[in-house]
Copies of this chain bind each other. A is one copy, B any other.
Amino acid sequence: MKHYPGPVGRLIGELSKLPGIGQKTARRLSFYLLGRPKAEVKDLADAIIDAREKTKYCSVCNNLTEKDPCEYCTSEERDQGTICVVESPKDVIAMESTGEYNGLYHVLHGAISPMDGIGPDEIKIKNLLPRIKEGIDEVIVATDPNAEGDATAMYLAKLLKPLDVEVTRIAHGLPVGGDLEFADEITLSKALEGRREIKY
């Protein structure tokens, strides 16, 4: 990192901490930023700070939000009788982009993965139960279509069985082993449309 003026070296160092950004990319981005107008560079820095400072997790559904409870939980236009359970806020975005879902969400922030020591207590299942008691008809489990996502779906189906709520799983129209957030909208729409009750 020598040879660089101090602040440039520091910027390269910070950028190269980001996932998928190596030394050369960090260097390229740094020199790009050094050549941009100050206002534009400040916009980027402000956006980084703002996004981190102003967003929090909704106390009801755990989704990323500016206000608590979030817009989905408080919207009168959304179907308050359905909850879609997903692993991460990114998955909420993916579901929304289908335009086919208009219910509520519950973000688990992970999936059950015994191999990694992640059990039901390590993800945000606890605040899902009181939500079900308030009169939810259906819980759509839209965890990732892989072993962890399926295990989480099974766990939820068993957990919610006594609560007299229909628990469904989005169809495996999704490529198995894949990652929900990268699914294209049509595949995701089909998966949502073909959801079936979890049998065990």
Contacts and interface: CB of A to CB of B under 8 A. Distances in A.
Nearest to A56: B5
Contacts of A6: 54, 66
Interface in A36-78: 36, 38, 40-55, 64-66
Interface residues of A, number: 56
A73 to B, nearest CB: 13
Interface stretch (A85-93, A113-121, A161-169): A85-93
A25 B30 CA distance: 17
A10 interface: yes
Contact of A33 (B5, B29, B32, B51): B51
A55 to B, nearest CB: 5
A24 B93 CA distance: 12
A89 B35 CA distance: 11
A123 interface: no
Contacts of A7: 47, 50-51, 53-55, 66
Counting from the closest, the 9 A-B pairs by CB-CB distance are A11-B51, A45-B45, A3-B96, A14-B47, A7-B51, A41-B52, A7-B50, A11-B47, A45-B48
Interface of A: 2-8, 10-11, 13-15, 17-21, 24-25, 27-34, 36, 38, 40-55, 64-66, 88-90, 92-93, 96-97, 182
